[in-house]
Structures are given as structure tokens and as C-alpha cells.
Chains A and B, each alone.
Chain A
Amino acid sequence: MSAPSRLARIGLRTVALGYLAALLVVPLAMVFYRTFEDGFAAPWEAVTSPEGIHAFWMTIVCVGIAVPLNTIFGVACALVLVRQRFRGRLVVDSLISLPFAVSPVVIGLALFLVYAQGGWFAGIMESLGIQVIFALPGMVLATVFVSLPFVVREVQPVLIEIGTEQEEAASTLGANGWQTFWKVTLPAIRWGVTYGVVLATARALGEFGAVAVVSGKISGQTETLPLFVENEFNNFNVAGAYAAAIVLALLAVIVLVTVGWLRNRGVSGAPPAPQLNPAGPVEKEA
């Protein structure tokens, strides 16, 4: 005899599924329907327009630079936070979560203030001949900022779990730092890294607010796919907006499927539910 009656159970199930349907599933299905209701020609034309193609490549470039940088940083940062003891370690650990907590617009403003004329880093960039604001470097920086914590947060628990015995054994046998890292540490954390990379990619692909501030949203020049969606919509080219949204939604689905697959593999240290947006320091007992 289970606690709630069968009727109550079905009632709760109906409410839960109804809520998910009204908020999530039906609207998403509607996007697909609206995109293709007049056939495939219009949406295809929109995403293969010069601006659409350009926006697609801008997105790929931003993600292609930001995610590898954050992967290297993420692994190094996780190693520092888990394997080293220093004063202020927990403060640094908390600060890593900042990009999750800060509004994308504030992130954009922060980069704008530092790199626009009169900003702290403006002089250096000017002498290097790099235009950051309203140009690609600013968009890449914004993407790096928003996707910074993912790899760190996924690798940290795995590092805690695997412990240091094998690394110490390798050191004792004469392996240097890099040999130990490539042969022992990296293979042990590889699924944690993969997890982090997938989540960081999803976030980087879809970033809107931060990139909108620093890019200036110049069509055909500094427009990523999410910005293209907004631009098309505001120009009453709804078919184009839907089509680009579908491209982004499909990428999101690919991410979800990958995450599910990784979860089923039993990525070591990964919780039963993916920590898609973990906040706060990972300082729980191993």
C-alpha cells in the first residue's frame, strides 16, 4: 500500500505533465510548426542568406576560441583548487561561480567599461592595434566570461574522487609533472572534462545579452546566431527568426542527448542529475 492513492497519483501526474507541456513542450512544438508551415524554402533561404551564414560562422568562431581556452583554464583551475592548499582558496572557489550569478548584460557592460575608450585595458589593446568593442575580440571575451565555470565545476568532483595515490606513484617512479598529467590525471578525468566541455559549448552557443552589449549588433559583421534571431524578428522577418532559432534549438537537443549519454555511461563523480548550472563552491566531503 503506497502512500498516496491511485487517484491522487494520477492527478499529480496530470498537473506536472500539464505544466511542462504548457510551458515547454507545446511552445517548442509550435516553433517547429510555424517554421515549416509554409514549406522549407523560406526558412532555408533565411538561414542561408549572407547574414545568416555570417552569423553562423561568427558563432562557431566565438565558441571555437572560448571553449578550448576555458577547457585549459578549467582543468588547471580544478587542479589548483583541489590539489593545492593556499590562503583564500575557498574565496577563489566561490569567485569561479560569479559568471553564473551575474546578469549577461552586466557582463557585457563590464567588458565594455574595461575595453572601450578610456577603459583600463583600452590603452594596451590600442597599442596592439586590436579593436575589442564592437568587434570579434570583445564577443570572444564575452563568450569566455559566460562559459568559464563549466569545466572547472565538472572536473573538481572527479579530481576529489580519484585522489592522489596514482599521481604520487607516478611521481615516485620518476615521471615529471607533464608526464603524470598526460598519462595518469587526464585519462582519469576525461569524462568530467567532456561533460564540462559539452555544457560550456551549449552556453557559449546561445549567449545573447553579453555579446549583444559588446558587439554593437552590426548585421553581417558582429552578429552571432542568437543576435541574428532577434534582428530578423525585429525586422518582421519572422521566418528567418524561426529558422535560426530552430538551428539553435537543434544544437541544444544535441547537447542534451550527449549529456544524457554521458550520464548513462556513469561519468565518475557526476551526480544522478546533471549539474547544468551548479553554483557555489564544490567543497563537500568526498
Chain B
Amino acid sequence: MNPANTAAAPAPSTPPKVGLRLPFGGEPLMRGMVLTWLSVIVLIPLAAVVVRSTDEGMGTFWNAITEPEAIAAIKLTLIASLVIVAINIVFGVLIAWVMVRDEFRGKQIVNSVIDLPFALPTIVAGLTLLTLYGSKSPIGVDVTYTKIAVGLALLFVTLPFVIRAVQPVLHEVDKEMEEAAASLGASNIRIFRSIMLPNLTPAIVTGAALAFARAIGEFGSLVLITGNIPFDTQVASVYIFARIQQDNPTAAAAVSVLLLVVSVVVLFALSLFGYWRSRHERA
């Protein structure tokens, strides 16, 4: 079932241990405890969502996800996520480049600020955006209850992914290659396209996929600023929340399964990609 599993059988990194004694009552007991905890906390509840979604037959499941309001929410979620990922790629690479190759005062502080969206609670993120882009905006820009607000909130919470994926790779990229190309008369755009981009692509893909997975499930930063209007600014997670509140967990579960599948596929593809790359580079 899992190609990564069989492919990695001759796991090379750790040598086979000889008589190594482990705490928590030794190997099998410890493994059992870990797997039990993971199952009780994560796996069984998620399985319940899947089971519940088809509880009343595949027909109900299909009806739940093809209901016009659900379709509108899913469509908005996917399109908004794709758009913000594209913006993230452009600005992520640009900001990463500035953080690695440029020197200016206060760079260290800017570098720390980039992590804020990861540390800041999502509800605070939404409130934060409201102060500048809400109805009492000091610059006269009010995007509340529009699709732009959805995009803005998603951009805020996903800001660090591409930057943090690209930054370390950019550190490693050989600066001399760029300088050689420049001395041979290559334009900046040509240098970027033929030298930097090929090196950065895997990191960009990784960062973009993580940002996408985060964006399709985002909830907290959206509730205050988007108004959660059905057929307009309501994303999938808000739709699910509304269905739970209306005591319709089956419909909530159906759309949840859809979100689950998308994010699991993205993450699975990403780890396959990472695995394929590590083999590729070794060969």
C-alpha cells in the first residue's frame, strides 16, 4: 500500500543495535504505548469522521458534497488556496533572496518577524488584519466580507512556508556560478532562470505544498474578517463549522473527508517527492 515503506526497507542510517536497552519497559511495550496513544488521540477520531460521512450510505455522502453551498465553499477554498500559493511563491522567493543575499540594518529582526505567523494564534491574525484592512481602516481600505479578505488572511498565515523552505537552499547555492554567468554577460533574469531557479525548485515545491495544505484547512484567521457569507466568502472549514452548529454532523463529515483527502494526498506526495530526491541525489 505504501511504496515509501517497501522502498525504504534497507534503511541505512542507523546500524542495527546490539542489546540496546530502552526505557518504558523495553521495545515492544514502548512501541505499543506510542501506537496506542497515536490511535486514541488522532487515528480513531479521524476514522470516525470517515465512517460518519458514509454512515447513511454513499448517496448521502454524495448529496452532502454536491450541495450547492458545499460546492461553492469547496471551490472558493481550492481557488483561493491556489492563488495565495502562487503569490507566496513569488514573494517567498523574493523575500528569501533578500534575506540571504542582501545586507541591511535590522535584517536579523526582520528575519525573526517572518516567523510570527507561525507563533501568533490564528484568531489574533484575523483581528490584526482587521485593524488595517477593516471598516475602521486608517488608510481607507476596507476589504471585510469580501473574497480579498479570504486571500489576505490566507497570505498572512502561510507567509513563512516558502521563505523558510527556500532560505537554507539559497545559502548553499554557489554564488560563484552566478558571478561567472554575470561576467559572461548574462542578464539578471537569465541568471535567475538558468542558475537559481533549477536549484530552488524542489524547495519551492515543498514550501508551496505546505502552504497549500495549511490554506485549505485554515479557520481561525478567517472567522472575523470574511463574514462567512455562504456562496460568497464561506470557505470549506467555515462551512463544516456551520454544519456542526446546525446539528448536521453527517454533512460536516462529508466535506471534512474531502479536505482530509486533499491534504493527505498533498503531504503524501511531498514525502514521496522528498524520498525520491534523496535517492536521486545519492545515485
Contacts and interface: CB of A to CB of B under 8 A. Distances in A.
Interface of A: 1-5, 8-9, 12-13, 15-17, 19-20, 23-28, 30-31, 33-34, 73, 76-77, 79-80, 82-92, 94-114, 119-121, 141, 144-145, 148, 160, 163-164, 167-168, 171-172, 175-178, 180-181, 202, 205-209, 212-213, 225-227, 229-230, 233, 241-242, 245, 248-249, 252-253, 255-257, 259-260, 271-277, 279-281, 283-286
Contacts of B82: none
Contacts of B214: 277
Contacts of A176: 21
A103 B253 CA distance: 12
Closest 4 CB pairs of A and B: A206-B121, A103-B217, A110-B45, A208-B220
A96 B282 CA distance: 26
Given A171-B19, A205-B121, A30 B115 contact: no
Contacts of B112: 256-257, 260
Contacts of B238: 105
B237 interface: yes
Contacts of A16: 91, 94-95, 97-99
A19 B271 CA distance: 30
For chain B, which range describes its interface: under 10, 10 to 19, 20 to 34, or 35 or more residues? 35 or more
A208 B122 contact: yes
Interface stretch (B27-35, B61-69, B142-150): B27-35
A241 to B, nearest CB: 6
Interface in B49-78: 49, 52
Contact of B240 (A103, A256, A281): A103
A209 B30 contact: no
B49 A20 contact: no
B18 interface: yes
A252 B123 CA distance: 13
Given A23-B159, A248-B124, A272 B22 contact: no
Nearest to B25: A177
Contacts of A31: 124, 127-128, 131
A106 B179 contact: no
B116 A256 contact: yes
A256 B127 CA distance: 20
B237 A229 contact: no
A12 B253 contact: no
Interface of B: 2, 4-5, 8, 11-27, 30-31, 33-35, 37-38, 41-46, 48-49, 52, 91, 94-95, 97-99, 101-102, 104, 110, 112-124, 127-129, 131-133, 138, 152, 155-156, 159-161, 164, 167-168, 171, 178-179, 181-183, 188, 191, 210, 213-214, 216-220, 223-224, 236-238, 240-241, 244, 249, 252-253, 256, 259-260, 263-264, 266-268, 270-271, 274-275, 278, 282
Contacts of B31: 80, 84, 86
8 contacts: A23-B155, A83-B17, A98-B43, A101-B267, A102-B263, A109-B244, A208-B223, A284-B278
Tell me whether chain A's interface is mostly helix, strand or loop, or mixed: helix
A111 B182 contact: no
Nearest to B124: A245
Count chain A CB atoms within 10 A of each CB in B4, B46, B270 and give the residue with the most: B46
A168 B20 contact: yes
A111 B224 contact: no
B129 A27 contact: yes
B17 A91 contact: no
Tell me whether chain B's interface is mostly helix, strand or loop, or mixed: helix
Contact of B188 (A4, A98, A175): A4
Contacts of A33: 131
Given A16-B95, A233-B224, A120 B270 contact: no
Contacts of A24: 113, 116-117, 156, 159
Contacts of B224: 230, 233
A19 B42 CA distance: 37
A208 B249 contact: no
A256 B115 contact: yes
B22 A241 contact: no
Contact of B38 (A92, A180, A283): A92
B154 to A, nearest CB: 11
A134 B264 CA distance: 29
Given A85-B11, A272-B168, A102 B20 contact: no
Contacts of A171: 19-21
Contact of A73 (B34, B97, B122): B34
Contacts of B49: 106, 109-110, 113
Nearest to A164: B17
Given A2-B179, A206-B121, 4 more contacts: A24-B117, A206-B220, A274-B164, A277-B118
A12 B2 contact: no
Contact of B41 (A148, A175, A273): A148
